[in-house]
């Protein structure tokens, strides 16, 4: 079963399939250049987010660096380990392609005769239906924001009002960064209408447009103990309330165009909701250039067949790791933290998020996994414990890199009936590495750590079974 799906995905992604040949014939222009054109240029272009590979000769000059980045799977950036699940829009290189690179390196990096590049930039959104946006929202107040000149990386959150007047569902998403030289990654969070003013207030208190937000949707400065204490003197338990009120809506990374959520599903937006747009700016290649006119495009439906949500999964105690001693990463250690949610126990929470009345929840479709840690993250795993007592790895990340976090969407969802939910759970497991001299604690700040999974889960709704039907 697994095998047939992977063949299907491999054929739709069509990574320039090259028949194995011996090292003698392997040269840059004939064998390697087509692989780079197909798999790298969406980011490594003159107008892209990393050094350009458009010029074939200059790229050849970087051959050793390129080969090692590929063979060590640092590039293309794709955190998920192969062999566990088949994911939509997988940009990693398949083993046959890597073997070509390896033979080329072993054969002494032959160059061959110059040839024109094959047609570049195939949209890699295999499995996704066509994206047809109907709502367009500007992200940057006043249209322009200059990322902090004092640092090459900045995470900045901007607040955008959701303009829908009625309850509606987001069914597709695209970010259109105004300046691809500095926009590295975009994560979009939704915020419950009741908490919109609290977020606005935090934005007003920070200088300039938006606020710094390294680890998620809330301001970095609340990770600072004194700031947090002052804030919670105003709003008891305020930081936790802020975090409970936001959820992962969508994300964009270079090379992605518009994509739609699985057919028939969507995420509910209430009138008056707020959107937090976390822009990750990486300014090394283009210092002192502003981000201008960045925009979000949404495909919206007034109703969907299967309302969905992102299960936001963590042990809440870890977020106050120092106070509770629940997450303490000592220098030089490599501790692992694990947390499990039983899906049967989440029905009330799911009803509240999706608006589907609890007794009408008949089945759940688990579509994705998405690991989240900060910069001390080392590796992690999301595991499904299925109703038959089997364990299945939904996502394994052998080498964590905060910059490439994303939803990893399965080519087929995992579907569970209401009766099975009590025997079904999802675990998130994070391993941390602390190379500093000081202990690191669980928390919200950029020097603190986190361990989350976000899974996109859709609800199949139906008439509740009657008491005589034996439902409990």
Binding positions for ligand HEC, rule: CB under 6 A: 36, 39-40, 42-44, 49-50, 65-66, 69-70, 74-77, 91, 253-255, 403
> What tokens appear for 369 in the block?
């996994």
Please give the Cα distance from 199 to 192 (Å, whole number): 10
Shortest reach from residue 140's CB to ligand HEC, in Å: 21
Specify the residue, 40 or 327, whose C-beta has the smaller distance to ligand HEC: 40
Q: Which is nearer to ligand HEC, 110 or 465 (CB)?
A: 110
User: Which residue number, 70 or 250, has a Cβ lying nearer to ligand HEC?
Assistant: 70
Whose Cβ is closer to ligand HEC: residue 40's or residue 329's?
A: 40
| CB distance 52 to 46 below 8 Å | yes
Q: How far apart are CA 157 and CA 153, in angstroms?
A: 13
CA torsion sign, 445 to 221 to 212 to 135? positive
Which has the closest alpha carbon to 82: 395, 368, 379? Answer: 395
Shortest Cβ 70–ligand HEC spacing (Å)? 5
**Smallest separation, CB 54 to ligand HEC (Å):** 13
Torsion, Cα 386 391 393 399, to 10 degrees, reads 140
Q: How far is the CB of 111 from ligand HEC (least distance, A)?
A: 16
Distance CA(217)–CA(188), nearest Å, equals 8
User: Shortest distance, CB of residue 233 to ligand HEC, whole angstroms?
Assistant: 40
Nearer to ligand HEC, 151 or 342 (CB): 151
In degrees to the nearest 10, what's the CA dihedral of 349, 351, 353, 354? 150
Distance CA 160, CA 200 (A): 10
Q: What minimum distance in Å lies between the beta carbon of 142 and ligand HEC? A: 27
Tokens linked to 316 = 């809440």
**C-beta of 76: minimal distance to ligand HEC in Å?**
4
By beta-carbon proximity to ligand HEC, the closer residue of 126 and 351 is: 126
Nearer to ligand HEC, 65 or 225 (CB): 65
Terminal Cα distance for the chain, rounded: 33
Q: Closer CB to ligand HEC, residue 92 or residue 315?
A: 92
Q: How many C-alpha atoms does 250 have within 13 Å on its Cβ side?
A: 25
* Burial category of 119 from C-beta neighbours within 10 Å (exposed 0-12, middle 13-18, buried 19 and up): exposed
Rounded to an integer, what distance in angstroms lies between the CA atom of residue 267 and that of residue 335?
35
Please choose, from the candidates 37, 58, 32, 54, the residue with its C-alpha nearest in 3D space to the C-alpha of residue 45.
54
The CB-of-34 to ligand HEC minimum distance in angstroms stands at: 11
């Amino acid at each position: 079963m697994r095998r047939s799906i992977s063949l299907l995905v491999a054929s739709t992604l069509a990574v320039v399939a090259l028949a194995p040949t011996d090292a003698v014939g392997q040269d840059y222009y004939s064998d390697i250049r087509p692989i780079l054109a197909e798999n790298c240029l969406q980011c490594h272009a003159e107008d892209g987010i990393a050094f350009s590979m458009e010029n074939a000769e200059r790229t050849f000059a970087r051959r050793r660096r390129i080969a090692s980045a590929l063979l060590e799977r640092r590039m293309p950036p794709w955190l998920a380990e192969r062999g566990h699940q088949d994911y939509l829009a997988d940009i990693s290189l398949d083993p046959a392609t890597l073997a070509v690179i390896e033979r080329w390196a072993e054969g002494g990096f032959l160059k061959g005769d110059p040839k024109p590049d094959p047609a570049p930039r195939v949209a890699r959104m295999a499995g996704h239906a066509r994206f047809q946006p109907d709502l367009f929202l500007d992200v940057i107040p006043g249209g322009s924001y200059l990322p902090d000149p004092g640092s090459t990386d900045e995470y900045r959150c901007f607040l955008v009002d959701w303009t829908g007047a009625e309850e509606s569902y987001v069914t597709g998403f695209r970010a259109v960064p105004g300046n691809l030289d500095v926009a590295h990654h975009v994560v979009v969070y939704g915020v419950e209408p009741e908490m919109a003013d609290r977020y606005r207030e935090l934005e007003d208190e920070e200088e300039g447009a938006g606020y710094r937000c390294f680890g998620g949707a809330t301001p970095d400065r609340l990770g600072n103990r004194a700031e947090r204490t002052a804030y919670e003197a105003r709003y008891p338990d305020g930081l936790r309330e802020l975090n409970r009120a936001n959820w992962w809506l969508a994300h964009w990374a270079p090379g992605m165009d518009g994509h739609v959520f699985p057919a028939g599903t969507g995420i509910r937006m209430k009138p008056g909701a707020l959107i937090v747009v976390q822009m990750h700016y990486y300014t090394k290649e283009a210092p002192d250039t502003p981000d201008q006119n960045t925009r979000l495009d949404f495909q919206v439906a007034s109703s969907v067949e299967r309302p969905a949500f992102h299960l936001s999964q963590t042990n809440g105690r870890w977020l106050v790791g120092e106070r509770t001693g629940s997450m303490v990463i000592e220098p030089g250690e490599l501790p692992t933290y694990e947390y499990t949610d039983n899906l049967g126990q989440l029905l009330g929470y799911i009803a509240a998020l999706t608006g589907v009345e609890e007794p009408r929840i008949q089945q759940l479709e688990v579509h994705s996994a998405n690991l989240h840690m900060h910069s001390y993250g080392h590796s992690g795993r999301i595991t499904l414990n299925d109703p038959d007592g089997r364990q299945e790895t939904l996502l394994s990340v052998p080498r964590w890199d905060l910059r490439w976090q994303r939803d990893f969407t399965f080519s087929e969802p995992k579907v569970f009936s209401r009766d099975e939910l009590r025997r079904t759970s999802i675990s998130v497991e994070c391993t941390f590495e602390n190379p500093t001299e000081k202990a690191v604690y669980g928390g919200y700040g950029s020097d603190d750590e986190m361990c989350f999974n976000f899974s996109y889960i859709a609800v199949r709704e139906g008439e509740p079974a009657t008491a005589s039907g034996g439902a409990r």
